[in-house]
Structure 1
């Protein structure tokens, strides 16, 4: 029985013909619009009979495989009908055309020859011409190479291509059969379901079956990770789902997903799962041969990557960071690029939000047909609101361009002039502002896009020369900032504002996304289903609104599975407002002193800011110098975070009192079960600081007939409170004391946002 491989032309030929190195430092990143513009300029020269953007497809048998190949060729030159039909493959470049020769890029010839074969097979053509057209940006110069092939030559070439791809295809086919069989036999990995767990799993399964989205508020301790992954994996075994993207905001929640997959593997699951780690964390250091200008893991990367991927997929299923690093060293390939290439072959990918939602780094090579059969699981989805605002915003500083202008005045007059125009535009902002330190508007700055596009083209031409030095690093940083701005400017609509801040000679310009809901909706719309879940999607209507829910999307709210007896909730109604903090400090410290003496257990105390935390800690330690304490530090390294958490031991002789920042790295996603943590204190209602940007958000939602103060301050603040308090009860056996410190918890708007099991508090 034959097995069909659905594949597009480009990934097929790239797999077979990619060779050489990953360009270190700068890689040409010509924007999509520039590439499209180059294509259009070339296509304008076509005759009346010629066609552009022609969809082609063909079935190519090879042994017991059938390759169903499709693609879209740039141009089909019919001409006067006397000669063979010609395939035109157009490539835009900012590099020097003199450096491109006929055989510089075999992969481009391969792509064009595949299209030529597909057209010839469909139209019974005995001969085809193939042309490569290289278009230089910004000059508009062109260079062309042309070859003619008989149908037999094309057919032989195509057979060689699919033969080279076949080992990879067989590996994926055999793995898919083994995976599906293992999923059919996979049992739920726990002896019993927790309260609400079966309901969540049923909702996830139904959502995937109906290609919908689900917004699920599921309490801490229900087992959200396994409750979302298990039904999605079951749907994969039935053929409904091809790939799973499990998105997290923090490394610590990524571990929970890895552990859930490992647990199912111990029950027989056979599935390829790749974890993506940020480039700055996973790249090897200079001592291993990974330098900025030369890197042994990047040199010749494409000559070794296919063998590395085959080795990895044949021998591993759960591909966590240590596994990726081990195989990267074995095959001498860049671990970050290796993990990305592995992700395109995996069944499940555990990664950060930005791989799906951020327009700058999302999976660019993911075919639409795969996307349509993929499910996105968004863990701790409450974090996505602020992250999305950041992803869909862009900012520039005048000083960046002034520095480039000065550095390249003599070295590159074209780049100098382009940068000077951008810098002059910033000078106009400053003059227009007069005495104002800030300007806020609902339109993009005039001419800025055009000036930045000109700068980007000149910067790219300079960067591809491969020079190095401090001025090149500065140019690269400025180039990427300009590219990000141009990308976001194309998304700009009524949900954005533009603001400029002036300080001395500096001008800061930002395209600020206030409401990310529409862009999140658009980024996720081509996936089969999205499940967004968190213990703190409260209030649900706010998160549905901010995360882009549509009317027919599902919502689910599951009550806590834990009993009221497990949690002793206390409220201390004192003011922690900024102006009252000095006045209330002593009474809070006195309460903490009594608490740790009444309950000498492991305790975690959350405060709204670093300075406030330090002030409370210093006063507390004066009263209790003998106690074992620890404090969250600024920008802690990963090993420091792990040490902070591992210090909480269940059987410690002396209890540990920890101080941390609400909304920080220790207030969500950590799991200190049982006696590891038996007391939590949350000081304040978590409101973000009053700020210029938060006030812009407030005013925007007020204008749109919503409660702006709640949207900008109350809901995000109370989410931090719920997350911090949620560290306490993690299982049916846990018991603990939760102390809420702030008089506002008694006020109706805040009181109603508390979980039901917290509302029956005792006043201190």
Structure 2
């Protein structure tokens, strides 16, 4: 007796794979949100009668070759007409459904055919009526496409469709079998575990099994990337699970890919994908998603299936270079290609936004329930600020002026709608005559209403002018204002509306989220199946837990694997770097820097709280025997890599980098061995005292009675810890860290020191500093 291979398959997955066709356009992806689509569906269904049905689950067992397929889906509606039901498939769109060129989508028709066939088989019918209902998001007008289906005709269609889809399923099945076999036999890729590594692996594994939340304070050197990935992979037990390795920086992605490649070399079969931002990976010199302009958007869906089969059959690690190579081969957009391919991989390496941002998160994984996301959040100390940013939105008056120019020839005109928004904004401009910064508990109702009206007018006008020259630029502004409206849906007690002008006198209106923990927790509890936040600098842990997940989650604290005596930590406690004291202490700061660098030839970094302070020191720092590298405000990734390469090269003299705390050189970089001999941290890293940070202070005072701590001290100290963490990256590294400010030697700050900093030297003079450094380097020459 032959045992049939059983598969549970969603009808939507079949039809999207087989029947997606046509061009990629600005209206295609992530344009109609899940919420907007649901509301549009509900609007159509609200006009059903009491005899009609909506949201009907349907399933059917279908035997084919050696497979027993459980087809499943959800029908939008069954409409009673006399003695029969008409099957209704509802699709929402921003396109003009009354345009003479508009017709039904073949993928939508295929979905309707599948549901009609399944319904007829279940109800023992030979024929039935069906329709596709298109509804415009802008005005909820509808258009119907009606069909009559006969079971005998659909038999051939369903048979041919499943026959073709099974070819793909057999590839997937073969891969899944190999994957789980390799996971079962996979052993840890190193002969020994680093201190704390096994402990972290066990905690991450159990977090996934319990669908829990974990915060791991994991110091540099324990191998946290490998620990989190290895244990997550070992926890995989079904093909609906996907590991999301999220990180704030490109370097974090690279480290994750390196770890996966190492496991692959040890016998693991797994598929991993790196998602790169659309603008970064776009093949055009300037992004333009109009299929009449972009050849990679034209016919995108016609070539997508072959491109997917090709890359899946031949590659396991789908990093940016690989995605772009196959995208060029098949002439399709690399960004949207990567999003589609994500359906078929096991590990997705991406920015936090794709998981947590309500405007750009991957709807298929976090608004629907076909998959089980497992979350690994690297460098999690960034999540507080990033989560606030994800739930905030900003609009600029200058965008409206630009929009008026770009859309000047649109018919129907959008000029009047733009004027209405500009007129509404004069309320804010008049108030700014008497104040430089305004903060309200809500947005002006007229401003909000006129923005919504403008969005509708843009949608309607672009429907009539689908080939308008400035369409892409108009859509960029449209999406900025649409994001503003979407974020307002979350507006509540943790929000403020800020109104101010920038240096160019451009009016800015900002919906500012002060605390996004409520929304992040919703993702963790209701959409994820186990989440681990890890970083070396989650100090104090209560601060991070409260402001990321409302204090929900377990905590794991791991000790550093490195001998504490390898780091000579100095508290230089006789200098004040407070803003009012900087001019008076500048010469002393320079002396400390020079003494540290001259104590031993090597590479050093001095970290400053601001560019202004950095430049003050630079202007007075003589550099006859020191090569100085300066971080500048507009420094890009190319210059960053050049600077890092300079640290790696040999030099006859010492090098000194003058960098900003919390910037591109302060985290996510391993200065290993002779790359770095020491850091000098100038000041306690407090964020700038201004209206925006004071808003946080006031909110945290009211919510937690810890206003200054949460808004200023803790974020500043995190930057200090990150900076010091650059020095010791391996068990063989030895180096110095000089903390310059009298505040470091107070209980208020010492209580925030990581446990690895329990040994430190208090020094208050250049003479004693010189002696201490000399003794340390005599013992610990690198």
- Determine if the TM-score, normalized by the shorter chain, exceeds 0.5: yes
Match of 1:382 in 2: 381
Q: Deviations over 1:571-616 (max 9, x none)?
A: 2221112222222111111112121111111212211122222232
Farther off after superposition, 376-385 or 193-202? 193-202
Aligned to 2:711: 712
SS in 2 for 1:70: strand
Match in the other structure for 2:22 = 20
TM-aligned CA distance change 1:468 to 1:406, over 3 Å: closer
Query: Distance in 1 between the 2:657 and 2:290 partners?
Result: 39
Question: Once the two structures are superposed, what CA deviation does each residue of 1:47-68 show, in whole Å capped at 9, x if it has no partner?
Answer: 3311122222223333223332
The answer (yes or no) to whether the contact 2:374–2:528 under 8 Å persists in 1 is yes
Structure 1 counterpart SS, 2:125: coil
Aligned to 2:58: 56
Structure 1 residues 588-627: aligned runs within 5 Å: 588-620=589-621, 622=622, 624-627=623-626
Match of 2:774 in 1: none
Out of 488-497 and 406-415, give the one that drifted further.
406-415
Q: Distance in 2 between matches of 1:682 and 1:62?
A: 68
Higher alpha-carbon deviation: 406-415 or 372-381: 406-415
Partner of 1:166: 166
The 5 A counterparts of 1:409-558 are 411-412=410-411, 415-431=414-430, 435-464=434-463, 465-469=465-469, 472=471, 475-501=474-500, 506-525=506-525, 526-551=527-552, 553-558=553-558
* Counterpart contact for 2:27–2:94, Cα < 8 Å: no
CA drift of 1:292 comes to 9.0
Q: Does the residue aligned with 1:647 lie in a helix, a strand or coil? A: helix
Q: Deviations over 1:204-251 (max 9, x none)?
A: 111111110101111111111011111111111x44972100000000
Q: 1:26 to 1:339 in 2, by over 3 A?
A: closer
Partner of 2:728: 729
Residue matched to 1:67: 69
Bigger shift: 531-540 or 682-691? Answer: 682-691
**How far has the Cα of 1:172 moved from its partner?**
1.4
> Structure 1 residue 128: deviation in Å?
1.5
Partner of 1:181: 181
**Any idea what SS the aligned residue of 1:343 has?**
helix
Residues of 2 paired with 1:350 and 1:259: CA distance?
12
The Cα of 1:146 is off from its aligned counterpart by 1.1
- Corresponding residue pairs, total: 757
Does the aligned pair in 2 maintain the 1:605–1:657 contact within 8 Å? yes
Counterpart Cα distance in 1 of 2:4 and 2:639: 54
Q: Is the 8 A contact 1:501 1:508 kept in 2?
A: yes
Encode CA deviations 1:298-323: one digit per residue, 9 max, x unaligned: 22111111111111111111111111
What TM-score comes out, normalization by structure 1 length?
0.94
Residue number in structure 2 paired with 1:99: 99
Judged with a 3 Å threshold, the aligned counterparts in structure 2 of structure 1 residues 541 and 33 are, in CA distance, closer, same or farther, namely closer
1:297-446 matches, cutoff 5 A = 297-366=296-365, 373-405=372-404, 411-412=410-411, 415-431=414-430, 435-446=434-445
Q: Which residue is equivalent to 1:89?
A: 89
Distance 1:194 1:336 in 2: 37
Give how far 1:28 is off.
Answer: 8.4
Deviation readout 1:613-641 (Å, 9 max, x if unpaired):
22323322x2x323233222333332322
By how many angstroms is 1:152 displaced? 2.3
Aligned pair in 2 of structure 1 residues 455, 7: CA closer, same or farther (>3 Å)?
farther
Q: Distance in 2 between matches of 1:240 and 1:330?
A: 29
Task: State the secondary structure of the residue aligned to 1:366.
Answer: helix
Does the CA contact (< 8 Å) of 2:571 and 2:740 recur in 1? yes
Unaligned runs of 5+ in 2: 764-782
SS for the counterpart of 2:546 is helix
Query: Does the 8 A contact of 1:211 with 1:528 survive in 2?
Result: yes
What SS does the corresponding residue of 1:663 show, helix, strand or coil? coil
Residues 566 and 167 (structure 1), Cα distance of their counterparts in 2 relative to 1, 3 Å cut = same
Residue equivalent to 1:126? 126
Deviations 1:108-161 (A, max 9, x none): 211111221222222222211111222345454432221111122223222222
- Deviations along 1:371-406, whole A, 9 cap, x unmatched? 653210000001011111111001122343355457
RMSD: 2.6
Quick check: 330-339 or 348-357, which moved more?
330-339
Alpha carbons of 1:100 and 1:744: their partners in 2 closer, same or farther (altered >3 Å)? farther
Residues 381, 609 of structure 1: CA spacing in aligned structure 2 closer, same or farther, 3 A cutoff?
same
Task: Name the SS for the 2:738 alignment partner.
Answer: strand
1:5-58 residue CA offsets vs partner (Å, 9 max, x unmatched): 333322321111111221269878245454444434433443331112222222
SS in 1 for 2:344: coil
After superposition, the C-alpha distances for 1:237-269 in whole angstroms (9 at most, x for unaligned) are x44972100000000111111111111111111
User: 1:655, 1:752 → 2: CA distance?
Assistant: 34
2:92–2:135 Cα contact (<8 Å) kept: yes
What is the 5 A alignment of 1:682-693?
Answer: 682-693=681-692
- For residues 234 and 91 of structure 1, the distance between their equivalents in structure 2, rounded to whole angstroms, comes to 40
Change (3 A) 1:8 1:728: same
- CA-CA distance at 1:517 after TM superposition: 0.6
Query: What per-residue deviation string (whole Å, max 9, x for no partner) do you get for residues 689-727 of structure 1?
Result: 011111001001111242111111111111000011001
